[in-house]
Structure 1
Amino acid sequence: MSQIGGGGFDPVDPGDTGNGNGGTAMATTFVQQGAAIDYTPGADTPAGTVVVQGDLVGVTRVDLKAGQLGALAAEGVFDFPKATGTGNGFTAGQLAYWDNTNDVATKTATGNKLIGKAVRAAAEADATVRIRLSQ
């Protein structure tokens, strides 16, 4: 048995992942595509609501009832509300973040959660910006 990097990896044993436990690592199991993820809201949540869970941002596509299992869109292209005025325009391809305090998309990373990228430009006067979810 040869050791590479002190991790105990055995290149002869295809089951050895180098984690030091002799090839008994738990396999990763595919669960779903990930376009939507399970979500049970604590309160009734209307369609189009942006939901932040840690660093994950999702969007409800239908009304969800409190305490009932539903789903959040974790992929797709959505029109997000944004602030208007000087400095609030977006260019196509620009990173977009969710400001959970003001409930708007923003270009400001500090204190906000990554949503994805703008898929088309939005002028400063526009009330929405079209964003592709990609976290």
Structure 2
Amino acid sequence: MKNYIQAGANLTVLAAAAVASGGGVLTGSIFGVAQGAAEIGDEIVVSRFGVFELPKLEAQAWTAGVKVYWDDGNSRCTTAASGNTLIGAAVEIAANPSPTGKVLLDGAIR
């Protein structure tokens, strides 16, 4: 195919904020997990597919399959949709309280 560019599982984007390896990166509607560290404005490769353990709002309990959103202002996941970006679904229970949860990123842009 002449117009094929890439699979899109990993993308290079510009970091809108400083991020550590394994941190969440939101660029417009594209969410991914940083493969390395970056400062504001640096290019960073992000993974858009897979299951990742990510920081979450500790006071929330998750059930497997619940929709998970990225709260960019607090750099964490939440089940609250309002003002946040849908990034995937929880793959297992996460207790209240717990600092992290396991999230399936499916790469969809919402």
Task: Return 5+ residue gaps in structure 1 as ranges.
Answer: 1-26
**Displacement of 1:89:** 0.8
TM-score norm. by structure 1 comes to 0.69
Matching residue within 51, 66, 72 for 1:94? 66
Residues 63 and 119 from structure 1, CA distance in 2 versus in 1: closer, same or farther, beyond 3 angstroms?
Answer: same
For these two proteins, the number of residue pairs brought into alignment is 107
Q: Deviations over 1:43-83 (max 9, x none)?
A: 65321221111111111022236665431111111111112
Bigger Rg, structure 1 or 2: 1
Aligned-partner Cα distance in 1 for 2:75–2:17:
17
Match of 1:132 among 99, 104, 110: 104
**Greater strand share, 1 or 2?**
2
Mapped partners of 1:115, 1:46: distance in 2:
19
1:59 is aligned to: 33
* Structure possessing the higher relative contact order (Cα contacts under 8 Å, 6 or more residues apart): 2
Give me the identity figure in percent: 33
